[in-house]
Amino acid sequence: MIKIHIGLKGSGKTPKMIAAVNSAVDEEMGNVVCITEGDRLIHDISRKARLVATDSFDIRNLDVFAGLLCGIIAQDYDVTHIFIDSIFKSVPSASVEDLEDFVKVLENLEKKFDVSFTMMVSAEESAAGPNVKKYIA
């Protein structure tokens, strides 16, 4: 399952994600990972979820970010859900157009490793391409 929540800053995406992470921790049988820039969510998400702060890494583009996702999955085959908060904060060089190809990476990882993804995107929904639009929640 892939879900993308898209909207401008202040539209309530992060609170939805926090609730979804905490719910997933209680409901899913595997491990839940939350990727965000910095540690600002450390007090909001359950301690049972693994918080990955991307500011600890030199993420230059979405290819490097995809490598991070692969590393997380390779390190723990029990990961069932990866939440990505504010993708453009973790990968400042990325654009909405770049997400078209990145969604294909998520699709491949989902099929191969049975991992669900939920991603928050700060942009106008009208800017999204067809690959992104088919997963907008």
CA dihedral over 121, 14, 54, 31, signed as positive or negative: negative
Beta partners for 120? 5
pLDDT of residue 130: 92
Q: Are 87 and 94 in contact (CB under 8 A)?
A: yes
pLDDT of residue 99: 94
**H or E, element range at 99:** helix 99-113
CA neighbor of 52 nearest in space, from 79, 16, 12, 15: 79
CA 124 to chain centre: 18
Contacts of 101 (CB under 8 A, 6+ apart): 62, 131
The model carries a pTM of 0.92
Dump strand ranges (E) for 14-102.
31-36, 50-53, 79-84
Q: Are 49 and 25 in contact (CB under 8 A)?
A: yes
pLDDT of residue 125: 87
CA 7 to chain centre: 15
* Domains of the chain, earliest start first: 2-133 (3.40.50.300)
Mean pLDDT by 10 residues, the chain (137 residues): 89 86 92 90 89 89 95 93 93 92 96 95 90 91
